[in-house]
Structures are given as structure tokens and as C-alpha cells.
Structure 1
Amino acid sequence: MHDVEFTMTKIYAAIGFACLTCFSARAVAQPPQVPRIDSVVMADNQPHQDDPAVIWYDDFDLPQRQDQYPEKSGKLSQEVRFGTTGVSLEMAYPRGSQGIGGRKVFFGDSPTNRRQTLRGNESFDDIYWRIYVKHPADWKGGGPAKLSRATSLVPPGWRQAMIAHVWSSGEALTLDPASGVKNGRVVTTAYNDFPNLKWLGNKPASQFKLHGGEGLGWWVCVEARAKLNTPGTKDGINQLWIDGRLEAERRDLDWRGTFAQRGINAVFLEAYWNEGSPVDQARWIDNFVVSTKPIGPVVCSTNPTILKTSYNGPGQQHSWQAEIAERDSRGAVVGEPIWRSFITQTDSNQVTINTETGEFLGRLSQSSSLANDTSYLIRVRQRSSNGQWSPWSDWHQPFQTKTAKEESPQ
């Protein structure tokens, strides 16, 4: 009997040891978290600075630029930046608060803040606005309700003929267009006069989760468009691109009926969180552009520097690798990668695209730089000190290279 008990004890011990060994092996084999490209180093001169289609451009680096906002709040952050230099606009969310931070730009036929109204002798029926947004990797609570809006302000006061809201929908973003016109007349009596607004549809929302999962921890390009309808015709448009891909749109909109006395004349960046933030946290905004034509991502040199997000996973970072591929007009990858970095065994999270750090492939196999005036996407993976590679990230963080004229010395 004692022999049987002793034998069973050994069997149970062996099973326990085997389970512990399997568990330990699984723990050791756990791969790192999938990284992202945090940002790229932009060219010193962005085309938005000289483009006649651009109404407003602000990278938040020039103090005098901030004085041109009629209304502004929120501090500029030197700790969180797009690329390796400059500052960003911080949207702060102390626990329980509805957010601190914002900027208001007035242009065209805006009836308010005329002394600081941009291009005040024009009227705009079709505009695009772009920002880059970064949430920390440990962001909590989903999306603050407000991110940005374009609107048509009508006197007296701040009555609104239309509003193109870019708002959160859980962890996603959505468009929530609204009209303040009825029978050819503006019926709103004040700003945000919700009872007198006609809501034109807030679904579907984006597939991309800006406020969770894939959207956290790196700079994400968000661009929107609002095109007013031809007076008397339901042909208005509202569109949203995230990370260079069309994520939501509303067509055949009746923004303003037959009303034609005012165009779109203001864009606001906003922090407002209806329910309040569940914890102390912040998000950041940079590279703000308002234009009459599509804007797209930032422009870089043909040998740009890319920055990876910080390592997250078991052990420490051992190495990482990035690939670059061309991007089509819909935001999709074209063909195979045209540059692949060598496996970078370094603590640094940045690399410059050249022949010393990687290999040009395909049609660029004889090149020492990327092609001019071309749009690209990046993907990245990282390896832990236990030898495990993460999966490759999705293709993301689009950028455009300079034209040959822009690249050549002046």
C-alpha cells in the first residue's frame, strides 16, 4: 500500500513538474507587443507653408503663430513631439474633468473675430482639415466626445447654418453632420442649438480604433472634408480619413437647403469629454492644416528618419526591423517592399532610410534613396531579449517624399 502511495506521489509530482515546465516555456516564448512607427521626421519646409490652397497651417512650433488664434487654451508640450524636434498641443484630462485644450480658426465670411479672420474677402464651400493625434499607450475610457468640427457661423451671434462634427464613437471616430437651415432660413438661435439642428446621420463609424488598441501610442493622421451642397440640391459631402485611408463618409447631404449667404468659415480643435475622464491623462495634437484641397500626410526627404514606439514585452528589446512600400491613392500597399532595414541591434528606436541601415529592393535596388514625390507606408516588428519576434505591424504611418525640385539645393 505504501509503495502504491509513493508511486502515485511521484506521478503527481512528475505531472506537476511537466505542467510547470510547459507554463514556463510558454512564458519564455511569449512574443513582444506589435510595435508601431511613432512618427517620421518631416522635411523642414512643408508644402502647406506656401500652397495658395492652404488657409491655415500650424505645427505649434512658432509662438507668434499661437497669437493668431482668436481663442485658444491648453499648453504646448515639449515632452511629446512629432518627430525629433518641436512641440505639440496638449489636451489635458485631469480625472473627472471634461478636458482642457483647444484652438479656433476663423476664415472667409466668418461674422466674428474679423480682425483675426483669415482670407476674409473669400467664401468657402469645400474645405479639408488635418491633424495628427497621439494618445498614450495606456489611454483609458475610450474616446472623448469631441475632436474637431467645421462650421458655418451666421450673424447675429454664433448661429450655425451647418456643422461637420468629427466625434468619437466608443473607441472609433465618426462623422455627425448637422444642418441648422429649414426652408432656406437659418433656424438656430445660438451656438450648439441642438433642438433646432437637423442631424444628417452618424453611422457608420470608422473601423480604425483611434482611442483604443491599434490607435494608441503613436501619431495618427486624421483628415476630414466638408463640402456644402449646391443650394437646392442634396449633393453635400462629409468624409473622414484615418492613417491615410477613407474610414467614413456621408454623401447626398442637404447641409443648407437653398441658403447661400455664408460658407464654411471656422474650424475648431476640441477636447470636450461629456462624461469626464476616468483618470488623469492627456492626448496631443500636431501639424494642423486647413485647405481647399486634399492635404494628405506630412512630407519628408527621400532619406527620412523613422521613429519606432518604445519596446513593450518580455525581457528587453534585442533588435527591430522596418520595411517600406509604396502606397496608392486609396491608402493601400502597392507591390512588395522597396526598402528593408537590416536587423537593428540597438537600444535606439530610430533609423534613417539609406544604404547604410538597410537595403533598397525592387525598382529601387540600384538607388540610395526613396523616389521623389511618392507616397509610402511603413511596417515594423521587434525582437525581445529571449529571441522572440513580434508579428509584423500593419502597414501604417503614410508619408510623402519631396518633389525633385523641393529636394534640390536652392
Structure 2
Amino acid sequence: MPICTNTFLLIITLITIHVADNNQPLSGASTVVEIPHIDFIEMSAVQPHESDPDVIWDDDFGLEKAYLESSGKIDYEVKFGTTGGSMEAGFEKDMIEGKGNRKVAFGDFPSNRNVLRAGEHFDEIYWRIYVKHEYGWEGAPAKMSRATSIVSARPWRQAMIAHVWSGEGNSLTLDPVRGVDEQSAKVKTQHYNDFKNFHWLGNSPCSEFQISSTEESGYWILVESMVRLNTPGKNDGLNRLWIDGRLEAERTNLNLRGTYTEHGINAVFLEAYWNEGAIKTENRWFDNFVISTQAIGPVVSPANPVIHKTLYHGRDSLSAWEIELATDYSGNSIVFQSKEIRPQEAIKIASENGTFSGILQKKSKLTSGETYFCRVRQKNYNNIWSDWSRWHQPFTVE
């Protein structure tokens, strides 16, 4: 039976609509793909800090170590890299004091138990951790870490403190304190956290990086701090904070100890404390903890490192992802561009998986001693790409 003209046109129209829709998201599928991050880089088997004479302490949380004080268990399921574990630092809902802490004593700390490099005097130190907040994290815990000068056995009196605390919003900030009378060199504090006798030296500006925001949850972030005591009688002390390889906050021209010199910096504490109580039950972890008299920086990896992306969280499925490497935080010098990587969540940076470019054109590996930054994007099975992440997750080649 012949098809009438109107019926034929209707069938053609429906076919055209169906073909056109084949490249569109399925009904109910997301049209926005979450921006991924690089979770971690597989590290070299031996890290430089393990044999560095400038290093006071290091812990990858593979085994329990002898701290001055510690609480909370090691999590062997969540870790930066593929070995060791991590320190649990999360919270149950409404909890003020979180799941774990670690206290390291060194130098002239007034104790004869678990004091590293006992008797030495330290006027400048650096400390580094990697921090991961559970995917979907909400809220800003008050305290993360501190370096301090303890001048007496219990009760611990403090000559100075360099706090790394939450700032405005979901930022981190530095909040240094002097516990010494500026003129007499007398330690004014009578016990630990003697707020009444603290002289606060300024807690702003805060970091631009919103480390405890939901957007920055689910992957490992490098946090490094340093403090240098002032020359006695001068205002030349220094306190700095780097996040993800970039200087995010600093306090200069500090008077941290007046003319007091009997004790130097002699302790670093990792903390989980939420002044107002946690808004929900959620986990946080610390890993790769190092204390040194020199800058530490990121982990060290092979020249063809294996790099792990965060898990895909879309309602649909992951189709592919791409990664690029650059030698700077702004991505001005890109040196590697991957092919489309199928749904596996890791890639080896090598010629079979992408192209070396820029200063590494025609090379087959990264340059020894150089630090690289990553950015990444992903697409779903509807061929919708996410935006690129910002440049992040620095690592140094062995």
C-alpha cells in the first residue's frame, strides 16, 4: 500500500530526530561531568629524606613509631602511594577531639623519653604532611598542626607556637604566638595553651586554597610549613605555609621569643580538633610526615611515574580521561600530553601513553631533579568532557 506524502515526511522527521539525539545525554544522565584530580603519585622506593642528615623525623605510617604521645590507629587502606598507611584524623558527628594525634619531641625538649636528637638547639624547622579529606567532606576543623617551644616538664610551658589552623571559610592560616615577655625574656605562660599569657602575632591573610571545601575533597594535598625564630632582640622571625606546592600564607618580621634563648623549637604536633564539634561523621587522613631543618617539598618519583586519578563519581560511566604535566604551577611549560586513557584510574607517564613536548620533545622520560605539576580531565560515555582541573599535585623526579 503506497505511503502518503504526509506519513513519509513524518517518518523521515522521526528518524532525523532519533539520529540527532544519539550524541545527546540519555534521559536523566548528567550533562556536567565532575572535574577530577590526581589522587597520588607512586613514589620511588627510597625517599631522599630517609637518609638526609637535616631530617629530624619521618613517618609513612607503615608501622607504629615511638612518638612522645600518640592516639588513633593507622589506616592501611587509605594512603598516599601504594605502601605504608596513614594516620586517621577524622571525626564522629559532634566530636571535638578527633580520632588521632601525634606528638614529636626533639632537641632541647624537657623530657628524657622519646626525644629525637636530644640536646640540640633548633631555631628553624620545616614540617610536611599530606592531607586527604573524605570525598564529599563538609566543614572546617579548627586545628591541623603546630610547632612549639616547650620550656618545662609538665605542665608544659610554651615560649612560642606556630599554629597551622583553619582560617576563614575552608582555608588554612598561620597563627603564631609569643609566650615570652618581650623586654625581660621571662616565659609568661604557666601551662600548655595558656591563652591568657599569649601574645598573638596575626592570623591573616589566610590561604587562597580552600583545603577543607567539598570541591577539594577526595585526594591527597601537600601541606608544608616552616618557622624561624627571631634573632634575639630583633623582629626578624618568619612563618610560612605552602599548600599543593605554592606559598599560600606567610608572617614576616615576627618577634617570636623576645631575647629568650634557653630553648629553641622542640616539638611538632599533628592534631584533629574541631572547636565547635564535627558537623557530621567523616574521615580525614595524614600521611608522609617529615620534620627537617631544611625545606622538604613533595614526594620523589621515578622518571616514568605511575599517576593515579581520583575515582569517577558520575551517575553514568567513565569513558576516558587525559592528563598533562607542566614544570610550573601555572602550566606555562607543558611537557607531556597523554592520549585518551580508558577507564582505568592510573597511567604510566611514558611514550606509549602520550607525547613528550616542549623542553622534553623527543624524550621518553621526565628530567631528574625537576618538579612537575599535573592537570586532568575526564569524559563520560555521552562524550561530555569535564573542564580541566587546575594545576596541582606536584612531585619531584628522583
Q: Give the match for residue 180 of structure 2.
A: 181
Contact in 2 for aligned 1:376/1:399 (Cα 8 Å): yes
Alpha-carbon distance, 1:302 to partner = 0.4
Alpha-carbon distance, 1:337 to partner = 1.5
Q: Give the match for residue 195 of structure 2.
A: 194
Distance 1:370 1:92 in 2: 36
Alpha-carbon distance, 1:86 to partner = 2.3
Per-residue deviation, residues 174-207 of structure 1 (Å, max 9, x unmatched): 0000010013110000000000000000011100
Worse-superposed segment, 49-58 or 353-362 = 353-362
Alpha-carbon distance, 1:216 to partner = 1.1
Alpha-carbon distance, 1:26 to partner = 10
**AA matched with 1:239:** R
Contact in 2 for aligned 1:314/1:384 (Cα 8 Å): no
Pair 1:358-2:357 in alignment? no
Matches within 5 A, 1:217-256: 217-256=218-257
Q: Give the match for residue 172 of structure 1.
A: 171
Identify unmatched segments of 5+ residues in structure 1. 1-20, 403-410
Alpha-carbon distance, 1:215 to partner = 2.2
Q: Give the match for residue 212 of structure 1.
A: 213
Distance 2:127 2:25 in 1: 51
Give the counterpart of 1:384 among 377, 380, 384: 380
Alpha-carbon distance, 1:115 to partner = 3.0
Alpha-carbon distance, 1:118 to partner = 0.6
RMSD, aligned α-carbons: 1.7
Alpha-carbon distance, 1:363 to partner = 2.4
SS at match of 2:196: helix
**AA matched with 1:134:** K
Q: Give the match for residue 17 of structure 1.
A: none
Query: With structure 1 as the length reference, what TM-score do the two structures score?
Result: 0.88
**AA matched with 2:142:** A
Q: Give the match for residue 129 of structure 1.
A: 127
Per-residue deviation, residues 357-393 of structure 1 (Å, max 9, x unmatched): 1111122222111111100000000001111000110
**AA matched with 1:176:** D
Distance 1:334 1:357 in 2: 20
Q: Give the match for residue 407 of structure 1.
A: none
Pair 1:370-2:366 in alignment? yes
Contact in 1 for aligned 2:63/2:84 (Cα 8 Å): no
Q: Give the match for residue 279 of structure 1.
A: 280
Identify unmatched segments of 5+ residues in structure 2. 1-20
Distance 1:213 1:281 in 2: 12
Contact in 1 for aligned 2:331/2:391 (Cα 8 Å): no
**AA matched with 2:375:** R
SS at match of 1:105: strand
Q: Give the match for residue 101 of structure 1.
A: 100
Worse-superposed segment, 197-206 or 365-374 = 365-374
Worse-superposed segment, 310-319 or 215-224 = 310-319
**AA matched with 1:161:** A
Distance 1:136 1:153 in 2: 33
Distance 2:99 2:359 in 1: 49
Aligned length: 371
Pair 1:86-2:90 in alignment? no
Per-residue deviation, residues 245-279 of structure 1 (Å, max 9, x unmatched): 00000000010111111100000000011111121
Contact in 2 for aligned 1:74/1:100 (Cα 8 Å): yes
Pair 1:151-2:148 in alignment? yes
Contact in 1 for aligned 2:25/2:382 (Cα 8 Å): no
Q: Give the match for residue 319 of structure 1.
A: 320
Worse-superposed segment, 76-85 or 245-254 = 76-85
Distance 1:29 1:388 in 2: 9
Give the counterpart of 1:120 among 112, 118, 121: 118
SS at match of 1:79: coil
Per-residue deviation, residues 33-91 of structure 1 (Å, max 9, x unmatched): 1000001001110000011110011111133xx2x112101111122111223211111
Alpha-carbon distance, 1:314 to partner = 4.2
Classify 1:214/1:29 alpha carbon distance in 2 versus 1 (closer, same or farther; 3 Å): closer
Distance 1:24 1:82 in 2: 35
Give the counterpart of 2:334 among 333, 337, 354: 337
Distance 2:171 2:374 in 1: 22
Alpha-carbon distance, 1:350 to partner = 0.5
Distance 1:34 1:109 in 2: 47
Distance 2:107 2:334 in 1: 44
Query: With structure 2 as the length reference, what TM-score do the two structures score?
Result: 0.90
Per-residue deviation, residues 292-321 of structure 1 (Å, max 9, x unmatched): 011110000101111100112341100000
Q: Give the match for residue 162 of structure 1.
A: 160
Alpha-carbon distance, 1:326 to partner = 0.9
SS at match of 1:294: coil
Distance 2:188 2:349 in 1: 55
Alpha-carbon distance, 1:121 to partner = 2.4
